[in-house]
Chains A and B, each alone.
Chain A
């Protein structure tokens, strides 16, 4: 029995995070009253969330298979959300997904920008080498004088 418990704990979502989400929402719902969350109810939230992930995964997996693909992507998950009757989630989910994509794009842009700049410098250097040479010659001439 104890080993089973350990295994199920591994599959569970972190209690601290579940608690924080619940507490934050309760503070939003009733900012004046301090609502206590029973230990058992926290477990109930955690278990419910786990089953939600199962349910959503299976639905997303079905959608993915229907499109004859092997990898569940973000769009499959968004379609699954609608299918399991949580359409109000789609908006906020798209927003956070866009944010994530922008962050990643930003990182990639920085990396590719530096690459591009290096390339540009190379390209600029080549023709400018000739002009630099002449300039240098001029400068050296001036210095000599």
Chain B
């Protein structure tokens, strides 16, 4: 009689090992990129890879700054408000200001965050 338990354990371990390194799915990134503007048509093979890493670095930076706010408040739970505070406090996160200021108002569903961003981006650019 075969003991499938041990073998299946090995197989599943190797499978999870392969999925280990976290990188954002390139197809999803490409979709989001194309939604950023009607004239974004062609994207090279390497671009989503740079995007994936850039996104990771961005999330890390936002996490760090949000964590600093959490620590200042002597708390151990990172709240959405901490993220909002980090965004407001950091110049380079200005493009997110509209998102965080509108978050409590969930009834404003007609305007998608990307549209809100477009408005703020147009204002921000010289």
Chain A positions within 8 Å of B, measured between CB atoms, are 1, 4, 8, 10-11, 13-14, 17-18, 20-22, 24-26, 29-30, 33-38, 40-41, 43-45, 47-58, 60-61, 65, 70-74, 76-78, 81, 84-86, 89, 92-93, 96-97, 100-101
Contacts of B25 in A (CB 8 A): 14, 17
Residue in chain B with minimal CB distance to A90: B54
Prevailing SS type, chain A contact patch: helix
Which of the four size classes fits the interface of chain B? Answer: 35 or more
> For residue A72, which residues in chain B have a CB less than 8 angstroms away from its CB?
33, 40, 42-44, 47
A76 and B47 in contact, given A30-B67, A41-B78, A50-B113 (Cβ under 8 angstroms): yes
List the B side residues contacting A101 at CB < 8 Å. Answer: 46
CB pair A55–B64 under 8 Å, yes or no, is: no
Q: Is the CB of A48 within 8 A of B83?
A: yes
Which residue in B59, B82, B83 is a CB contact (below 8 Å) of A18?
B59
Chain B nearest CB from A129 CB (Å) reads 43
Cβ B63 vs Cβ A25 within 8 A? yes
- List, in ascending order, chain B residues with CB within 8 A of A50's CB: 32, 113-114
Q: Does B88 contact A (CB under 8 A)?
A: no
Q: A17-B24, A30-B67, A58-B121 are in contact. Are A48 and B62 (CB under 8 A)?
A: yes
Measured CB to CB, the nearest residue on chain A to B92 is A85
> Which residues of chain B (15-33) have a CB below 8 Å from chain A?
22-25, 28-29, 31-33
Q: Judging by beta carbons under 8 Å apart, are B80 and A49 in contact?
A: no
CB proximity to A under 8 Å, residues B56-73: 56-60, 62-64, 66-67, 70-71
